[in-house]
Amino acid sequence: MSAIIPSQARMSAFLVKMRAIMEQTQAKRIVPVNRIILGITGGIAAYKAAELLRLLMKQGMEVQVAMTEAASHFITPTTMQGLSGKPVLTSQWDDAGNGMAHINSSRAADAIIIAPATADFIAKLAHGLADDLLSALCLARHCPLLVAPAMNREMWQNAATQRNIAQLLADGVRVLGPACGVQACGEEGMGRMLEAEQLAQDIAAFFQPKLFSGKQILITAGPTYEAIDAVRGITNRSSGKMGYAVAQAALEQGAEVTLVSGPTALAKPQGAQVVDVTSAAQMFEAVKQRAADCDIFIGVAAVADYRIAQPGTQKIKKSTETLTLELVPNPDILAYVAALPNPPFCVGFAAESENLAKYAEQKRCVKNVPLLVGNLAQQAIGSDDNELVLFDDSGNRVLPRADKLTLARLLMQHIAQLYEGADQ
């Protein structure tokens, strides 16, 4: 009998494992899933819809594709069904339910995205026409509608199209793009549909809670560069990705963002006021000029702790002798802001290579900030994803490994909770 009864230790391990599985399952259930109808109309940019679908699903969205008859001449329903795992809606008469696909599908959606939206389909939307399934879905919707225009530059500039776009905006429709660039016809100008990556980011941003409306947030990002001579310097391997992700998340959640950035190769977050700096001293000066006017300060930048006491104005020539450099401390930007007479809500970052919990909590106490975000440098620097640990008065909380924008969105939600509590 004893041979078939698990030991107490094995049973305890089994229960712990089952409890973890149940907790993970419950956590997944409480995370809201955005249900999207992705409408595709008959334009050459329809090929981008396949990548857009993939990116939306990658973000955890549930996507139902609906296509016009013209769209199927550019990309097949079979392709979109294979990518989405769901039958593609193409005709009002194909509905297996009560024959009201335009009602059933729109009621279940959190948003309808039309990408690409041709000039013809935009005209339908502006005038309330519903002569096919997709236009009927839009007319019968109870959810937001977003459109990504795609057409020849002359069609975009046509007075009729501009009137129709103005009407959509007046009706509360969100218009994403278009962009300026080379078009399929060989001409160049406005009318090109935004790339799938940008659209996916804009759609995800649309669903973010606007927790910081009217708030001024000052963020530092990237490395600093401390000159040794005319061609050499001291810096670090920070890419700036985390800081730029935090800026993007803050913008998505309604903040007015000023980003003080060290040297990076990243595209500037659209909508942010960006101040480019090189050295720690320049970053410090930029922050000093703006700190008093912000509600929240987030110091993400990997600021060099030291600089050269006397940097050379010319290149130091190589020799066989040992070169000695005198280093002096750089100003502590986070500590300065936190010590202001009426400081903003301050958030610091700590990149450590070991003993993260110990060093991060020490830094939080020394700098006297309500929240410090810790990560391991060897896992974070230059990477597209990361794992964060949040240290505040209530203890610490782990944000599991994910892409940096996802982490930034979760971080901003945590900051909003702390800020609201501190403001009361």
Angle at which helix 196-206 crosses helix 47-58, to 10 degrees, equals 40
3-class secondary-structure state, position 357: helix
DSSP E strands, 222-288: 226-227, 233-234, 256-261, 273-276
259 vs 175, 208, 370, 416, CA distance in Å? 26, 20, 21, 19
**Does the annotation count 185 as an active-site position?**
yes
Which of the 8 DSSP states describes residue 311?
-
Nearest-angstrom CA–CA distance, 19 and 37: 36
Long-range (24+ apart) CB contacts under 8 A made by 350-354 are 350/374, 350/375, 351/302, 351/375, 351/376, 351/377, 351/380, 351/381, 352/376, 352/377, 353/377, 353/378
Nearest-angstrom CA–CA distance, 171 and 128: 11
Q: Which of 185, 294, 346, 365 is catalytic?
A: 185
Nearest-angstrom CA–CA distance, 35 and 61: 6
349 - beta bridge partners? 373
Nearest-angstrom CA–CA distance, 66 and 317: 67
Closest by CA to 64, choosing from 78, 53, 52, is: 53
Catalytic machinery residues: 185
